[in-house]
Amino acid sequence: MKNQKIPRELLLILLTIIPIAYLLFNWNTLPEQMPIHFDFDGEPNGYGSKMVYLILPLGLYLLMLVLPFIDPRKSNYEIFSDTYYKLRIILTVFIGTIDTVIIYNSLHGIEKMGLVIPILVMLIFTLLGNYMGNIRPNYFVGIKVPWTLNNDAVWIRTHKFAGKLWFWGGLIGIVTLFLVKNSTFVMLPIILIITVAPIVYSYIIYQKIANQ
């Protein structure tokens, strides 16, 4: 089993290293201060050290490597280990792509940068939503509110509901971004719906189960 995990982990390490290598290759050409925060239109509204783009991929890799070992419900990670690995792949590729796009934009400029970032954000919701229903109760990954943490059945039903919502919400967002000029009018309502609705749903399900 351990031998089977080595190639999978090596792939994650490679995906983590690629954007870091691109950053280091262009290190001396990049400005000291780079965009590190963006508004709903994909426009930068915060700047910081380019070291951020070194720390982000490394930090994500180490964090998601450690979480299954420190979670009080670590045994559940074995149940959704394949899903957890896919989530790690998705998030690693997402962070790496965001880093690379921002670095490339700082060097060469991207004409529709205000569209690229929102599309990537909507895409990550779609991809994560595809696997969310398989996540089992834990303290670090998923929708962690009192009602899901206190009842495994509520957790499972909430994540299956949220998975469908995130998947379709992300797809609708991607399509709509090509039709609406102001990305805020797309991003804000979709993000509010797909984050708030599962929390409300978990409360309703919890109350129904408690009253049975």
Q: Distance between CA atoms of 64 and 3, rounded to whole angstroms? A: 20
Residues 6 or more apart whose CB falls under 8 angstroms from that of 95 comprise 19, 56, 57, 60
29: number of CA atoms within 13 Å, CB side? 11
Phi and psi at residue 46, to the nearest 5°: -160, 140
What is each CA distance from 53 to 44, 47, 82, 201, 209, in whole angstroms? Answer: 15, 12, 28, 36, 45
Tokens of 128: 């994560």
Domain containing residue 179: 2-210
What percent of the chain lies above the pLDDT cut of 90? Answer: 79
1 — pLDDT class (breaks 50, 70, 90): very low
Q: Which pTM does this prediction carry? A: 0.92
pLDDT value at position 2? 56
Q: pLDDT tens for residues 64-78?
A: 999 999 999 999 999
DSSP structure class, residue 109: -
b/e sequence 146-175, b meaning 16+ C-beta within 10 Å? ebbbebeebbbbbbebbbebbbebbeebbe
Count of structural domains within the chain: 1
Phi and psi at residue 71, to the nearest 5°: -70, 130
Higher-scoring residue by pLDDT: 45, 138: 138
Q: Distance between CA atoms of 130 and 165, rounded to whole angstroms? A: 10
What is each CA distance from 169 to 67, 85, 148, in whole angstroms? Answer: 28, 23, 22
Is the pLDDT confidence value at 3 over 70? no
What is each CA distance from 203 to 67, 69, 143, in whole angstroms? Answer: 26, 29, 12
